[in-house]
Amino acid sequence: MAALEISAARPDPALLDLPWHLPLADWPDDLLASLPRGISRHVVRFARVSGRVLALKEITEDLARSEFRLLRLLAKMNIPAVESFAVVSGRETVDGRPLDAVLITRHLQYSLPYRALFSQVNQPQTASRLLDALAVLLVRLHLAGFYWGDVSLSNTLFRRDAGSFAAYLVDVETGQLHETLSRGQREYDLDLARTNIIGEMFDLQAGEKLADDVDAIEIGDQLVQRYQVLWATLTERETFSSEERWRVSARIEKLNELGFDVDELDITTDLDGTSVSIQPKVVDAGHHARRLLRLTGIDAQENQARRLLNDLDQYAAETDQQGEDEDFVAHEWLQECYEPVVRAIPRAMRRKLQAPEFYHELLEHRWHLSQRLGHDATMDQTVQDYILTVLIHRQDERALITSETSAIPIFEG
């Protein structure tokens, strides 16, 4: 009889109480959380353990350990991905039949698979926004030297990000981490992404979750175009006259606007010094998120951070504090603007959206309410109107749970 083995960074004794002698497909409903999920080649279940929700995937031990290690490496590199929790191996049924290992990851709060998003937000721009998020994620992975090998919407989770979405890597079964990727590796990943996304769009149309007049092939092509434009902006060499040195700062500012910081820049001149070439060597995503975190302690997605920083700048202008110390103004904005609004949300409704997304939506709602009233709405008016007309109808997204486990299908393959 094999011995059960649990490998984890921080082992939880409660894991020992789970029925590891049963295939995941046979686990009792009272242990499970009914969460929306995408299509998987393996059996995937969600279980409540010690007050948290964990995702469990049944795969071979080699794959489970490889994926566990790779997810931990990506976390250290600040790549948006699910967090590895443990690997359970040495599983057997009561009659001694061996069972596959289980990879355990933490459920990513406030995230949804693309199918659930299309069910909730069946709008023409949904596909476009998901493609933008996936393109950014793929570029970030390739810059870090990560070859995905199975790029698709199904292997990605999405969080709302100030009117857009932020993409998170879920499945790294086929992933490989290298020092750098060749052009061929990147193009193969990109071509695979295009093929998979076209198939996923056709599948959505077959399920009547995407309009029949949407061109699935064009959507796949759009991902390739958006990836190529972003990759070129981040990595291509730019040459200009030595009298146009301001373009060095302009290139850095452009990358900052896209949400990237330049950690290393290669600057060269020709032999007679009449022209200058610049090429970003090391770029790191999260420019606005890092700045917001430094100033206020608010942990937000990149677009959320950009939106909140714009509101901070507007507050500085309205209070005539543009020349004041930035840290001082940010602290005042946090106390006078952000925290009162977040605290005004009823406690029972705070699971519906992340706090930065709440604030972003309130800013948007204030503009629309002001248009409707014919004058500037106060934030108090906005909060009350938003709660009564919008928030009360929203589903909880911290951990979107259906009423019955049977409502969520188990996909095997």
Q: Which of 183-197, 285-299, 341-355 has the lowest mean pLDDT?
A: 341-355
Rounded mean pLDDT, 233-247: 85
* pLDDT grade for 36, boundaries at 50, 70 and 90: low
Q: Are residues 356 and 335 in the same domain?
A: yes
Cβ atoms of 233 and 258 within 8 Å: the answer is yes
Q: Tell me the pairing of strands 101-106 and 84-89.
A: antiparallel
Q: Are residues 90 and 167 in the same domain?
A: no
Measured CA distances, 254 to 222, 262, 377 (Å): 22, 10, 34
DSSP lists the bridge partners of residue 32 as 47
CA gyration radius, the chain: 24
Distance CA 230, CA 261 (A): 14
Q: Is residue 408 part of a domain?
A: no
Measure the CA angle with vertex 129, ends 252 and 232; round to 5°. Answer: 35
Give pLDDT, residue 410: 32
Q: What is the pLDDT of residues 284-327, one digit of tens each?
A: 888 999 999 999 999 999 999 999 999 999 999 989 988 889 99
Q: Are residues 123 and 219 in the same domain?
A: yes
Rounded mean pLDDT, 199-206: 91
Q: What is the pLDDT of residues 91-124, one digit of tens each?
A: 999 999 999 999 999 988 888 888 888 876 656 6
Q: What is the pLDDT of residues 248-291, one digit of tens each?
A: 888 888 888 888 888 788 888 877 777 888 888 778 888 999 99
Count the neighbouring beta carbons within 10 Å of the beta carbon of residue 126: 19
Cβ atoms of 172 and 74 within 8 Å: the answer is yes
Q: Are residues 218 and 242 in the same domain?
A: no
Residue 59 is part of a domain; what is its CATH number?
3.30.200
Q: What is the pLDDT of residues 363-395, one digit of tens each?
A: 999 999 999 989 989 999 999 999 999 888 877
Structural domain including 187 reads: 111-235
Mean pLDDT taken over the chain = 87
Domain boundary among 63, 79, 108: 108
Distance CA 143, CA 79 (A): 11
Beta-carbon-side half-sphere exposure of residue 316 (alpha carbons within 13 Å) = 17
Sheet holding 52-59, edge to edge: 5-8, 84-89, 101-106, 52-59, 44-49
Give pLDDT, residue 277: 86
Higher-pLDDT residue of 280, 168: 168
Domain boundary among 51, 73, 108: 108
Q: What is the DSSP string of 131-166?
A: HHHHHHHHHHHHHTTEE-SS--STTEEEEEETTEEE
Sheet holding 238-241, edge to edge: 238-241, 275-285, 260-269
Distance CA 358, CA 254 (A): 28
Q: Is the pLDDT of residue 406 over 50?
A: no
Q: Is the pLDDT of residue 148 over 70?
A: yes
Give pLDDT, residue 213: 86
